[in-house]
Amino acid sequence: MHTGSDGSSPWTRITQFSPAISFGNENIAGRGGMESNARAFIIQLLIDSGIPGYGHRYNILDPQWTHVGCVMTNFKSMDWCIQNFGVKKK
């Protein structure tokens, strides 16, 4: 699960920083000791290998999203890519 260090859920974080969003989802991918750039992370999430189901792939390709936010960071000697997807409130 994508629970934050403060116990928050992806949905809580998305609406806290983007109150105009009515619904959303999140992808997180980590890489250590490998090529770590945006392209490599997107490919990793599209292939979704070693993860039960294809949730990351479905998130990236879901046509309902009107907004996406991405960040890359390093934490505990690993590179991380976080993607948040959302739909604007009507």
pLDDT at 16: 84
Residue segments in the chain with a per-residue pLDDT below the cut of 70 = 1, 33-34
The answer to whether 31 and 44 are in contact (CB under 8 A) is yes
pLDDT of residue 63: 96
Phi, psi (5° rounding) for residue 57?
A: -60, -45
CA pair distance 37, 53, nearest whole angstrom? 24
